[in-house]
Amino acid sequence: MSKKIRTVALTLLLPVAVLGREEKPTRDSIPQHKTHHKPTPAKKTGPVKVQYGTASYYADKFEGRKTYTDEIFTQAKLTGASNTLPMHTWIRVTNLRNHKTVIVQINDKMHPRNKRLIDLSKAAAGRLGYMGHGLTKVKIDVLGKKKPEEAIAEEELSKGQLTKDQ
Q: What is the CATH number of the domain that holds 148?
A: 2.40.40.10
Report the distance separating Cα 17 and Cα 122, nearest Å.
76
In a domain, 119, yes or no: yes
Q: What's the pLDDT tens digit per position in 128-154?
A: 999 888 899 999 999 999 888 888 877
In a domain, 124, yes or no: yes
Report the distance separating Cα 129 and Cα 98, nearest Å.
8
Number of domains into which the chain is organized: 1
Q: Which pLDDT value is given to residue 91?
A: 95
In a domain, 1, yes or no: no
For the chain, helix (H) and strand (E) counts, in that order, are 3, 6
Report the distance separating Cα 110 and Cα 158, nearest Å.
28
What percentage of residues in the chain have a pLDDT greater than 90?
43
Report the distance separating Cα 81 and Cα 140, nearest Å.
12
Q: Which domain holds residue 123?
A: 50-165
Q: What's the pLDDT tens digit per position in 62-97?
A: 999 999 989 999 999 999 999 989 999 999 999 999
In a domain, 99, yes or no: yes
Instruction: State the pTM of this model.
Output: 0.64
